Chains A and B, each alone.
Chain A
């Protein structure tokens, strides 16, 4: 039986991060036409393309022209900066989920957000999982955590794309 080594402070940070993620996920599903929340909490992905999706000014695509109806969509969000050192926010990718998304020819919607309720995301971009697979670093195996890797938003967005979203 494994024993958690995380500190309460880290747990609290994780909970805040999870809350931000859920809020952003709901916002994206509401704002993107043709996107529908995946049915049930035990769904493998966050959302599904209810109709064929095409890039828009608000949601540009990279590495793909259009998204087929029925495509699974995983929404990953991050704050523009994290921690006291204000490091570039990093998307948290889980190996198992990423593998399923790859197998299903799914896509990610990456979102850079501000950790304030009811605010529009600073920037969004849709990227196929196959392209993310080329960008990601090695999977990290840590006791008591799912195998994961982190992807800085600067791999997906240019600075200007994020700063243009700051009013």
Chain B
């Protein structure tokens, strides 16, 4: 059994060694993680779909999901470095399709003051997953089939690509909602955001309800590729706010799009591990554009 690339259990681990507890033939993956980081990652997944196929391997846990309307997809990883302890036995990845709610609920049971962590144990296929927070044990049955799609790979160059400040982006997404909130109760108004990328790299999040307009600029930290002329596309305001709202505090964010294309938002969260900053979680969202047209002239 290969343990290469895995983090080993510490001699003074708070939780029992799963191999000793279950026997080496049963446990496929075992990890112990702080509840905050787990919840941050679950929040990123949860806005796309309440269930997800989780793939466990020596790198950590990966997930790839698409929402029901196929307007949004996500690829994300919770790296082994995110865990206090992480072991995956064998060279092959293993997949379990699960509801995310039990993971949320278990993470909430962990007492931060007592520095309680969440333990995740994956047994052989057909066996439930085991979650534990403090003294509470929970089993989670895996589904045979999710019945929805996994994200597809997009290989594409976009005219605009920049690293942007998370806090400014969160604030811009909130401000751009104002014109639509003002219209609440006055009949239906499409909650849509225009996003514009300028040649100087500035990103604008614009909420335009025809009556009221908010233009919230977001300064770029690093404009990697900028267009010769401004590019613009329209997206669902709700999806933009969901995606932006799921970015964990401290994450590095990059944003890519072009005229009338989907946007690709990627965040990477790093934390100090063994004296250096290492990625502990990352996510990449693709959000479909809405039609922006000149009408039926």
Contact = CB atoms under 8 A, between A and B. Distances in A.
Interface string B276-297: 0000000000111111111111
B85 interface: no
Contacts of A56: 156
> Main SS of the interface on chain B?
loop
A55 interface: yes
Contacts of A158: 259-260, 292-294
Contact of B71 (A65, A127, A135): A65
B228 to A, nearest CB: 13
A154 B70 contact: no
A67 B262 CA distance: 14
Interface residues of B, number: 29
Determine the interface band of chain A, counting residues with CB < 8 A from chain B.
20 to 34
Contacts of B294: 154, 158-159
B224 interface: no
B202 interface: no
Which of A66, A68, A159 has the largest number of chain B CB atoms within 10 A? A66
Contacts of B127: none
Given A55-B154, A60-B260, A64-B70, A155 B296 contact: yes
A86 B28 CA distance: 67
A63 B259 CA distance: 14
A127 B292 CA distance: 12
Interface string B250-264: 000000000111100
Interface of A: 52, 54-57, 60-68, 88, 90, 127-128, 131, 135, 137, 151-152, 154-161
Given A64-B69, A65-B71, 18 more contacts: A54-B154, A55-B262, A61-B262, A61-B288, A61-B289, A65-B66, A65-B73, A65-B262, A65-B288, A66-B66, A67-B70, A68-B149, A131-B291, A137-B296, A152-B295, A154-B294, A154-B295, A157-B293
